[in-house]
């Protein structure tokens, strides 16, 4: 098996170093100093050996991705301990978690920064709905740097950074093609061609296409699996070297994906077993226990597909003279996304009573018959960004090394909206929907509460979502950064820092519909910004400037050629922002909930990276401690009269984390290698942290006499802008989706066959611990042990590989979110449980020239 493969936890080896710019002194020196079985990374804006960069980092080359069958971000998280990646709604809203530092992103606000920034060819990706491109993009390398990277990366690197690099043109004609056939109509093809046009100009073009019927059965449409997808991308790169000192690289990609509804199951209301009792239903309002996924879902048939489009162009200029390089990186990105989700999570629809009194059906009304109504939710997003970085730096030949630079970033999100379509087929103009029992057979006639979710979104078609509001937002970021390092013998001391100014603006446009009646909410054509006046109520423009300084201090010691120690202290900052999902009103959010403050963390880490016993053993380990202040969390409004409440971001308190990572690789011979890694991280909220959005579910009584409902955490008193409240304490609880323990073990063999042919095989077993579903930690999901494998017959030109992921077809929940549902009181936040991918088997053939 070619090279050492180092799994997440510390670093990753590969068969060869990433191809750098040969005119860059750093590249030449890094490649000369790096053994052929180690990779070169750029996490500190320099090309350095992965074994001597003082950062916990995972690096995977294209060969590593193929060897581990990684073709999606979900595959990446299943094989990378310490890194969790979740999606919802047809594979969108990608959230990345490192060391349990969970982001507070809402479902429709991309102006909320991520905890882990994603960069493609050094360009930050604002949209979290269009970045899962591993199966079709011409990926050359992925680097995941753990811990705050704000000093040099800047935006959204509060807990780490993921950098995806596409392949660069070569100086000789070469190409490759790869085709895959798998179960469930899994068909893929990808290929690339690279060639020199002249001795100074080279080009590379690549393309990929995937179609997949998906996984997860749908009882509403047994002939079609859920999670099916069609995806393609084209990637291009042009490198121009007019002189030995100057290099220009123009790169870009275009991608398109269409994804079916996800395999998701709601938790039945009858399963709610803790929390307060809802007077209208007599049911408990919380669930305590494990959330289990089902292989069979009941989902609306023939629902529209989620459609995502992304485009990027980047220009990288590098000039080197007398040991000093000047680098300019310019980037433009565009993304549009139309997301659909089964809001009622039933093929047959939610059961309602039909009231014939029009507006008089509110707040409750008599119903004369029953009907079922299907509901789909839909997000619309449009993103445009421009970024410019200019960097001046020394090479690595001198004991004194430095970097100085500045950057500008402008993100415009002219459209972000969350809508719903409730199929009104069979309803007359004067008929409204009222709530009836969802757990017992309701009476054929009776009285029910007006449903404030379904009625204002009654639509002629499920593909015609209606919107009560949308937001427009922008962020302008300016920063200066630098790094100073000095090496004295085997010891190097480095100080880095970035001064950052974020100017955020947002405005909400809505309709006036205080009675939540049908016929008022508006449709949005695709991802086009609505015409002026379509949403006539404009909020006061929100504007706020956030300034921060994020340093990182490092001391490292090269004890021997093969043993490297390091210690770091780094600060991460994530800016505050605005909640614009709902307007401030009696039925929306409170005025003091519009803005939320920045959060910060200091991460302290010490580690060792080593090759021992004549490089037969690679051992890396680190310990870390995180002090997280003013953590941003995802919660619901505190407004007791809110109608159809949407998640907001607010500051909940402090979190502390202590953890450790270790990873080893053993090479017994040229034919057999094995290894593994483990990550332990236990983030916990500190005293004073609280969740005020579940008072109805978890707090009985008010003031000093309030007590916790059964199964809920303790109650504390806090002072808020609206007065003193009894709220649920989060002290000692983990953030949502924070995995405490994860590990991976693997083994590989490579056996020579006839001629230059060889047999290569690898097997991986990975474990991911459970993660809290909600802030009070009453429910959890996601524990699983998955096994994957690949066996290939190959030589330097051809390969035939049989592979399988999740070999034992383990059923597990990969994600779970909660929100109010149509047809049930707002006191219930019903979990929707997402099924992880089952067994996937395929055959891949490839050829190179």
- Residue found by looking up tokens 């997949």 in the block: 212
Structure confidence by residue, pLDDT tens digits, 203-239: 999 999 999 999 999 999 998 999 999 999 999 999 9
Sign, CA torsion 584/379/331/323: positive
Buried b / exposed e over 780-817, threshold 16 CB at 10 Å, is bbbebebebbbebebeeeebebebbbbbeeeebbbbbb
Contact at 8 Å (CB) between 575 and 546? yes
Q: Taking Cα atoms as reference points, which of 479, 478, 549, 736 lies closest to residue 148?
A: 549
Compute the average pLDDT of residues 4-28.
Answer: 38
Q: What is the pLDDT of residue 825?
A: 86
Q: What is the pLDDT of residue 127?
A: 81
Where would I find the beta strands (DSSP E) of 3-82? 40-41, 48-49, 57-61
Residues β-bridged to residue 700: 707
Residues β-bridged to residue 324: 321, 394
User: What element of type H or E holds 376?
Assistant: strand 375-394
pLDDT at 4 over 60: no
Q: Measured between alpha carbons, how far is 74 from 95 in angstroms, rounded to an integer?
A: 11
pLDDT band at 91 (very low <50, low <70, confident <90, very high): low
Contact at 8 Å (CB) between 27 and 41? no
In order, the DSSP letters of 714-732 are -EEEEEETTEEEEEEE-TT
pLDDT at 757 over 60: yes
Q: What is the pLDDT of residue 817?
A: 87
Structure confidence by residue, pLDDT tens digits, 353-369: 999 999 999 999 999 99
Q: Measured between alpha carbons, how far is 739 from 772 in angstroms, rounded to an integer?
A: 8
Q: Taking Cα atoms as reference points, which of 206, 196, 140 lies closest to residue 170?
A: 196
Q: Which class is domain 25-689+730-848?
A: mainly beta
Structure confidence by residue, pLDDT tens digits, 516-531: 999 999 999 999 999 9
Strand, helix or coil at 663? strand
Q: Measured between alpha carbons, how far is 325 from 319 in angstroms, rounded to an integer?
A: 5
pLDDT band at 155 (very low <50, low <70, confident <90, very high): confident
Structure confidence by residue, pLDDT tens digits, 246-255: 999 999 999 9
pLDDT at 26 over 60: no
Q: Measured between alpha carbons, how far is 487 from 755 in angstroms, rounded to an integer?
A: 49
- Residue found by looking up tokens 């017994």 in the block: 668
Domain spans, the chain: 25-689+730-848
Q: Measured between alpha carbons, how far is 446 from 354 in angstroms, rounded to an integer?
A: 10
3-state secondary structure labels for all residues of 306-321: EEEEEEEEEEEEEEEE
CA dihedral 439, 443, 444, 447 (to 10 degrees): -100
Lookup: tokens for 492:
């190097």
- What's the length of the chain? 849
Strand, helix or coil at 442? coil
pLDDT at 34 over 60: no
pLDDT at 108 over 50: no
Point out the least confidently predicted range of 19-23, 29-33, 327-331, 748-752. Answer: 19-23
DSSP state for residue 343 in the 8-state scheme:
S
What's the angle, vertex CA 79, arms to CA 78 and CA 81, rounded to 5? 90
Q: Measured between alpha carbons, how far is 261 from 90 in angstroms, rounded to an integer?
A: 5
Q: What is the pLDDT of residue 571?
A: 96
Q: Which residues contact 540 (CB under 8 A, 6 or more apart)?
A: 507
DSSP tally for the chain: helices H, then strands E: 4, 58
Rounded to 5 degrees, what are φ and ψ at 399?
Answer: -60, -25
State the CB neighbour count (10 A cutoff) for residue 318: 20
Q: Measured between alpha carbons, how far is 291 from 326 in angstroms, rounded to an integer?
A: 53
pLDDT at 13 over 50: no
Contact at 8 Å (CB) between 82 and 605? no
pLDDT at 18 over 60: no
Structure confidence by residue, pLDDT tens digits, 397-416: 889 999 999 999 999 999 98
Where would I find the beta strands (DSSP E) of 782-839? 784-794, 798-805, 813-819, 830-835
pLDDT band at 21 (very low <50, low <70, confident <90, very high): very low
Q: Measured between alpha carbons, how far is 193 from 849 in angstroms, rounded to an integer?
A: 9
Q: What is the pLDDT of residue 95?
A: 80
Contact at 8 Å (CB) between 417 and 465? no
Rounded to 5 degrees, what are φ and ψ at 48?
Answer: -135, 155
Q: Measured between alpha carbons, how far is 616 from 188 in angstroms, rounded to an integer?
A: 37
Lookup: tokens for 116:
């882990």
Q: Measured between alpha carbons, how far is 4 from 670 in angstroms, rounded to an integer?
A: 11
Structure confidence by residue, pLDDT tens digits, 46-75: 888 999 999 999 889 998 898 888 888 888
pLDDT band at 347 (very low <50, low <70, confident <90, very high): very high
Structure confidence by residue, pLDDT tens digits, 299-343: 999 899 999 999 999 999 999 999 999 999 999 999 999 999 999
DSSP state for residue 167 in the 8-state scheme:
P
Strands 542-560 and 491-510: antiparallel
Lookup: tokens for 436:
């009836």
Lookup: tokens for 121:
């060819």
Q: Taking Cα atoms as reference points, which of 196, 136, 139, 181 lies closest to residue 162?
A: 139
Compute the average pLDDT of residues 146-159.
Answer: 89
> 166 vs 723, which has greater pLDDT?
166
pLDDT at 7 over 50: no
CA distances from 605 to 14, 34, 699 (A): 25, 24, 39
Q: Measured between alpha carbons, how far is 809 from 293 in angstroms, rounded to an integer?
A: 13
pLDDT at 28 over 60: no
Q: What is the pLDDT of residue 104?
A: 56
User: What element of type H or E holds 695?
Assistant: helix 695-698
Considering the chain, what percentage of its residues have pLDDT values greater than 70?
93
Q: Is 208 left (phi over 0), alpha (psi -120 to 50) or beta?
A: beta
Structure confidence by residue, pLDDT tens digits, 705-720: 999 999 999 999 998 7
Q: What is the mean pLDDT of the chain?
A: 90
Q: Is 185 left (phi over 0), alpha (psi -120 to 50) or beta?
A: left
What's the angle, vertex CA 287, arms to CA 743 and CA 783, rounded to 5? 10
Q: What is the pLDDT of residue 10?
A: 38
State the CB neighbour count (10 A cutoff) for residue 439: 14
Q: What is the pLDDT of residue 103?
A: 62
Sign, CA torsion 64/65/69/74: positive
Residues β-bridged to residue 680: 660, 741
Q: Taking Cα atoms as reference points, which of 191, 193, 122, 195 lies closest to residue 161?
A: 122
Lookup: tokens for 408:
């500008």
Sign, CA torsion 684/690/693/694: positive
State the CB neighbour count (10 A cutoff) for residue 63: 16
Where would I find the beta strands (DSSP E) of 461-490? 466-467, 469-488
Q: Measured between alpha carbons, how far is 470 from 581 in angstroms, rounded to an integer?
A: 7
Contact at 8 Å (CB) between 470 and 416? yes
């Amino acid at each position: 098996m070619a090279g050492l493969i180092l799994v997440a936890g510390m670093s990753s080896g590969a068969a060869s170093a990433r191809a750098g710019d040969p005119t860059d002194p750093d590249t030449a020196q890094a490649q000369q100093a790096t053994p052929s079985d180690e990779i070169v990374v750029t996490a500190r804006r320099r090309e350095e050996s992965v074994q001597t960069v003082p950062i916990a980092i995972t690096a995977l080359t294209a060969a590593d991705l193929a060897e581990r069958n990684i073709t999606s971000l979900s595959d990446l998280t299943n094989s990378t301990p310490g890194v969790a990646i979740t999606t919802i709604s047809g594979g969108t809203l990608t959230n990345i978690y490192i060391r349990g530092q969970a982001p507070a992103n809402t479902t429709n606000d991309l102006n909320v920064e991520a905890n882990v920034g994603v960069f493609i060819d050094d360009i930050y990706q604002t949209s979290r709905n269009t970045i899962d491109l591993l199966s079709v993009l011409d990926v050359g390398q992925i680097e995941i740097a753990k811990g705050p990277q704000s000093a040099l990366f800047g935006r959204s690197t509060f807990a780490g950074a993921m950098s995806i690099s596409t392949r660069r043109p070569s100086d000789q004609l070469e190409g490759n093609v790869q085709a895959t056939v798998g179960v469930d109509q899994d068909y893929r093809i990808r290929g690339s061609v690279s060639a020199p046009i002249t001795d100074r100009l080279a080009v590379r073009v690549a393309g990929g296409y995937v179609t997949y019927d998906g996984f997860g059965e749908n009882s509403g449409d047994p002939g079609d699996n859920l999670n099916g997808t069609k995806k393609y991308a084209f990637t291009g790169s042009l490198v121009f070297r007019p002189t030995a000192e100057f290099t220009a690289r123009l790169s870009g990609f275009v991608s398109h994906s269409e994804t079916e509804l996800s395999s998701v199951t709601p938790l039945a209301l009858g399963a709610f077993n803790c929390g307060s009792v809802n007077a209208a239903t007599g049911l408990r309002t919380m669930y305590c226990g494990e959330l289990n996924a089902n292989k069979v879902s009941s989902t609306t048939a023939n629902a529209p597909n989620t459609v995502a489009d992304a485009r990027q162009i980047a220009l990288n200029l590098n000039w080197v003279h007398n040991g000093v390089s000047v680098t300019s990186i310019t980037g433009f990105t565009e993304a549009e996304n139309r997301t659909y989700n089964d809001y009622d999570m039933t093929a047959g629809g939610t059961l309602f009573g039909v009231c014939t009194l029009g507006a008089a059906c509110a707040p409750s009304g008599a119903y004369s018959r029953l009907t079922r109504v299907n509901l789909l939710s839909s997000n619309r997003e449009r993103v445009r960004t421009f970024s410019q970085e200019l960097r001046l730096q020394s090479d690595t030949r001198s004991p004194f090394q430095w970097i100085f630079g500045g950057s500008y970033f402008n993100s415009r999100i002219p459209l972000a909206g969350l809508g719903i379509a409730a199929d009104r087929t069979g309803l007359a103009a004067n008929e409204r929907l009222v709530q009836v029992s969802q757990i017992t057979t309701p009476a054929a006639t009776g009285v029910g509460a007006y449903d404030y979710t379904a009625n204002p979104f009654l639509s002629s078609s499920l593909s015609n979502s209606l919107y009560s509001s949308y937001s427009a937002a922008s962020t302008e970021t300016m920063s200066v950064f630098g790094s100073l390092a000095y090496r004295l013998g085997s010891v190097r001391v480095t100080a880095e820092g970035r001064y950052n100014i974020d100017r955020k603006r947002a405005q909400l446009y809505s309709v006036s519909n205080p009675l939540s009646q049908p016929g008022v909410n508006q449709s949005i054509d695709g991802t086009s910004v609505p015409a002026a006046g379509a949403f006539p109520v404009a909020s006061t423009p929100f504007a706020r400037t956030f300034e921060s300084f994020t340093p990182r201090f490092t001391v490292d010691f090269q004890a021997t050629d093969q043993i490297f120690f390091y210690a770091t202290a780094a600060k991460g900052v994530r800016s505050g922002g605005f909640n614009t999902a709902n307007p401030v009103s009696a039925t929306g959010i409170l005025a003091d909930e519009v803005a939320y403050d920045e959060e910060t963390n200091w991460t302290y880490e010490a580690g060792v990276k080593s090759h021992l016993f004549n490089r037969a053993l690679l051992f890396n380990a680190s310990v870390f401690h995180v002090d997280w202040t003013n953590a941003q969390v995802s919660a619901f409004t505190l407004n007791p009269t809110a109608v159809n409440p949407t998640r907001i971001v607010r500051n909940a308190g402090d979190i502390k984390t202590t953890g450790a990572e270790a990873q080893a690789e053993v090479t017994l011979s040229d034919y057999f290698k094995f290894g593994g890694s483990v990550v332990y991280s236990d983030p916990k909220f500190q005293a004073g942290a609280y969740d005020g959005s579940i008072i109805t579910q978890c707090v009985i009584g008010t003031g000093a006499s309030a007590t916790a409902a059964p199964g809920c955490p303790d109650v504390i008193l806090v002072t808020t802008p609206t007065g003193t409240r009894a709220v649920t304490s989060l002290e000692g609880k983990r953030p949502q989706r924070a995995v405490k323990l994860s590990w991976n073990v693997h083994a590989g063999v490579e056996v020579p066959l006839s001629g230059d042919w060889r047999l290569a095989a690898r097997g991986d077993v990975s474990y991911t611990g459970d993660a809290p579903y909600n802030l009070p930690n009453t429910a959890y999901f996601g524990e699983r042990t998955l096994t994957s494998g690949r066996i290939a017959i190959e030589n330097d030109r051809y390969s035939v590989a049989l592979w399988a992921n999740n070999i034992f077809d383990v059923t597990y929940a990969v994600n779970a979110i909660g929100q109010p549902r149509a047809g049930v009181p707002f006191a219930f936040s019903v979990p929707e449980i997402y099924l992880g991918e089952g067994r996937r088997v395929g055959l891949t053939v490839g050829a190179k020239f």
